[in-house]
Structure 1
């Protein structure tokens, strides 16, 4: 089993996720999944805060979460979801599903956390059908080299991942998505919370497509 246990972080995250939603995160969650349809895989589902926002065109969500306490919370949240949700154990770098099974993949504050970001993105490409969508909402490095970027790099190399379940706030996740072969079609950069200028506030929300192989175009 891929089960991960971080009980202290999981308890903190359960409270933090509710506070973030009350501070405006819920609007980004809705935007992230708006217009989706068909089968969706949500990678790093946490305690299931995304589930209420899936639109009715979604026929099934397979929600992958390795942390046992958060996965149990996600199972409870799935029972109240407006679309069918199945919660499973698994890692982003080794998704427990077949190739090309999904119309869309959703990641929210996950690619900043996974130990192997390129490996996770390779897995996303594997499980999506040609033309399938990757919807992403992530902490990222500030765009321009600056004192803030150096602060992000210092925190990533020291305390931040240990305190926040492996989160890295200085990754260039947009470049990593493009480097994994996805075509980025929509991208929005912003700070969350909007009033913050802290090292974890730079974020992106976007949509990328897994291109079809040349023979299928």
Structure 2
């Protein structure tokens, strides 16, 4: 369906994700999905590193991943998850689900790579019920202007997206979430890793709600 293939990046990411989890990302993953219940859609599930952290109140996870190699890895990881996980092909901008099907949506290090994040967030709102939650963990533009922010803009305009499967480091993802119609309820800003000076180190994590339609 989605026909996305970045084999070199996928090979690299499978290894990087393991080392990042060991460096502390696993704890962020646990915090990100803590307290969720019902049906959840995870957009950009990658190789399934989020699956072990879903709480037992989640009745089903539909994990959407367009990249072929990563999707195959997620399929292999799904049987070991503590909750039922179904891995499907699909793009964030055209989710393979009906309106209002899910109680929550999860994105982790995904919206940086989506070609049209505003369209993706509109799709996420479509498949979420009114009052449903969006949980997000993303690396974003540096909060303050300066050397890091300039480096992010320069890299985004040159090699970074090509090397990292479309990733952009200088996106204001919190603003895009709000512009899509979500209400941000919690937002943390930090660097991962804490001492990181990488263009991808500024991060946000939080939750937003999909307003109930009148």
**Distance in 2 of aligned mates of 1:212 and 1:145:** 36
**Distance in 2 of aligned mates of 1:54 and 1:88:** 18
The aligned counterpart of 1:62 is 62
**Distance in 2 of aligned mates of 1:35 and 1:17:** 23
Residue 139 in 1 paired to residue 174 in 2?
no
Compute the TM-score of the two structures, normalised by the length of structure 2.
0.99
Aligned with 2:80: secondary structure? coil
Matches within 5 A, 1:89-168: 89-168=89-168
The alpha-carbon deviation at position 143 of structure 1 amounts to 1.1
The alpha-carbon deviation at position 198 of structure 1 amounts to 2.2
The alpha-carbon deviation at position 165 of structure 1 amounts to 1.1
Aligned with 1:79: secondary structure? helix
**Distance in 1 of aligned mates of 2:196 and 2:64:** 31
Aligned with 2:148: secondary structure? helix
Residue 35 in 1 paired to residue 35 in 2?
yes
The alpha-carbon deviation at position 3 of structure 1 amounts to 2.2
**Distance in 2 of aligned mates of 1:122 and 1:46:** 21
**Distance in 2 of aligned mates of 1:97 and 1:3:** 18
Residue 203 in 1 paired to residue 203 in 2?
yes
The alpha-carbon deviation at position 166 of structure 1 amounts to 0.9
The alpha-carbon deviation at position 51 of structure 1 amounts to 0.1
CA deviations 1:69-104 (Å, max 9, x no partner) are 100000010011000000000000000000000000
The alpha-carbon deviation at position 145 of structure 1 amounts to 1.9
**Distance in 2 of aligned mates of 1:3 and 1:133:** 29
CA deviations 1:153-180 (Å, max 9, x no partner) are 1101111111111111100000000011
CA RMSD of aligned residues (A): 0.6
Aligned with 2:145: secondary structure? coil
Aligned with 1:113: secondary structure? coil
Aligned length: 214
- For structure 1, the 5+ residue unaligned runs are none
CA deviations 1:23-46 (Å, max 9, x no partner) are 110000000000000000000000
- For structure 2, the 5+ residue unaligned runs are none
The alpha-carbon deviation at position 195 of structure 1 amounts to 1.3
CA deviations 1:95-122 (Å, max 9, x no partner) are 0000000000000000111001111000
The aligned counterpart of 1:17 is 17
**Distance in 2 of aligned mates of 1:162 and 1:19:** 22
